[in-house]
Structure 1
Amino acid sequence: MSSDPVSIAVIGGTGFYSFLDEPEEHAVETPYGAPSAPVAVGTVAGRRVAFLPRHGLAHELPPHRINYRANLWALRSLGVTQVLAPCAVGGLRDEVAPGDVVVPDQLVDRTSGRTQSYVETGAVHLPFADPYCPRLSAAVSAADPSVGVGGTMVVIEGPRFSTRAESRHYASQGWSLINMTGHPEAVLAREMRQCYSAIALVTDMDAGVEAGHGVGQEEVFALFRKNLERLKELLTRTIAELPDPRGCSCSTWADGIELTYDVPGADA
C-alpha cells in the first residue's frame, strides 16, 4: 500500500459500487467482523481516497444486514477522518423532487434492532445534536450550487418501503427525506471521531406523498443509475477542495474523555 495518508473516504450507496480507477484493494479485519467489501484505495483530485460500497460489491447486503460498525472501523484503521456518504432517499415534502441532491442537516432514527454504538461498557455519551459535519456539508454544496442544503432525513429499518400512513406521518413532522441506511452510519462515524456528511439523491416521492402505486425498487435503482456520473463528478470536485479537518468538533468532542472502545490511529 502507498505510504501516502488516506484521510478521505466515500461510502457508496444503492447502485454505487465503484469509484476509483485502478485501486489497491485491502481486506481489512476488524474487531466487529468483516466490512461490506474490501476497501479500495486510489487517487482522486491528487488526494488518496478510500472507497467502500455500503451494500457490498453486488448489492448482497440489505440495509438491516450491513455491518456498519465494521465499515467505519475499517476506514478509520486506514487513517480516514472524513467520510462522504452518497445515498438514495425518498422525498416526503414538496420542497424536494426526484433528481434533487441534498445535504441534510438533521436525522431521525426510526430503525430497530441495529447495533448503533461501539460503546459496550462504561460511561461514554456521544453529543449528537448536529449529526452531520457542517464543514463537509458546506464543501459539498460549494462544489455544486444546485445541491440543496438542510432538511431532516428519517431513517427507517427496511427493507420494505413505507406504508402510505407512515409516509404521511413522517411528512407531517416536517421531515423532508426518507432513507434506510443513514443510521447508525452517521453515529458510528462520530464515535470514530470522523467528519461525516450524507449526500442524498432523491430517487422518488414516497408512498404517501402522491397518488399512485407507491414507490418501487426498480424506479429507485433506475434514477440512481441515471445520476451516477453526476454524483461522481460532485464527489471529485468536493474532494479536491476539502479543507483540513483538524480541530473540527466531530473529533474534538472526545478530547478529555476516556473512551471505552478503540479508535484506531486516533493518537497517531
Structure 2
Amino acid sequence: GGRLDKHSLVKSAIFSPRANIRYNPNGKVNFRLSYSEGFRAPQYFDEDLHVDIAGGEHIVRVLSKDLQEERSRSVSGSIDFYHTTDNLQLNALAEGFFSHLKNKITAIDDPEVEGQKLVVNAKGENAKVYGINLEGRMAYGRLLDLQLGVTFQKSLFDQAQEPIEGVGGYREFMRTPDTYGYFVTTWKPATRFSATLSGNYTGRMYVPHVKGEGDPAKDRFASENKIERVNSFLELHTKLSYDIPVLEYSTLQLNAGVQNIFNAYQKDFDTGAGRASDYIYG
C-alpha cells in the first residue's frame, strides 16, 4: 500500500509506500516482515518548545531557508508464538526494528541574537534508530492475567551534534532512553472483584541542562551548560475494581487505586527565578 500527501504549499506530491509479509507455518507461530516510509513536514512547534515556553521564557523560533522535510525508512521483523493448554494461554513476541532518518529536523540556538532567545529549525544530520522489542502474555483461566514488554534501542545521529552551546558533540538523541518497558498484572479471584498492579519503566537518558542564574545558597541551577546522564525510574500503580449489578443489563463499577505508589519522578528540578525551565525529563 501507500499514502499520497499533497496540498497548496507542497510543490510535488509526497508518496510514502509500505509493505507487509506474514507467514504462518502452523497455528502457533507467525512470522512478519514490514517495510514503510514516512515524512515529517517542516514545523515551528514541537514538545521541546512547549516545555520552554511553559516556564515563561521569551522565545522566537524561525525556519531555516534550507529546511526540508524529514524522511524515514523503516524495516521490522517479528516472531509471534502462541500456546494454549486447558487453563493456560501463552503468547510471546520478539521483534527487531531499524529506521533511517534523513534530514532530521533539529532546533539550534542562535547565539548571535541578544535580548531574546532565537531558535532556528534547521536541516540536521541523518540518524538511525534500531533495537529489539520483547513482549509476553500469560493468562491462567479468568483468575490471573499478566502482560509485560521491554524495548532495548539505540537512537544515534550519523555525526555528533552539539545539543546546547559549549557541551561538545553527542551522537545520542536527547531525552530518549535506551531501555523502557511496562507490565500489567490482573488478579480476579471472584466474578465481581479484580485487583490490578501495573508499572512503567524508563531507562537512563541524556538531558540538556542549560546554565541558570540565582543564589547558590538557596537556589538549584547549573553553573554552566552541560549534558546530564539521568537515572532510571519505575512507576508502580494499583487499582481495585468491584462490579455491582444495577439493572438487568447494567453494571456499576467501583474503582479505587493509587497512581505512582512510590512517587517516582524527577528529583532535581532547578529552582529560583533564573532556573532552566526546560530541564525536565521523565
> Shorter-chain TM-score: what band?
under 0.3
Q: Which has the higher helix share?
A: 1
Q: Which has the larger radius of gyration?
A: 2
TM-score of the aligned structures, taking structure 1 as reference length:
0.22
TM-score of the aligned structures, taking structure 2 as reference length:
0.21
Q: Which has the higher strand share?
A: 2
Name the structure, 1 or 2, with higher relative contact order (CA <8 Å, separation 6+).
1
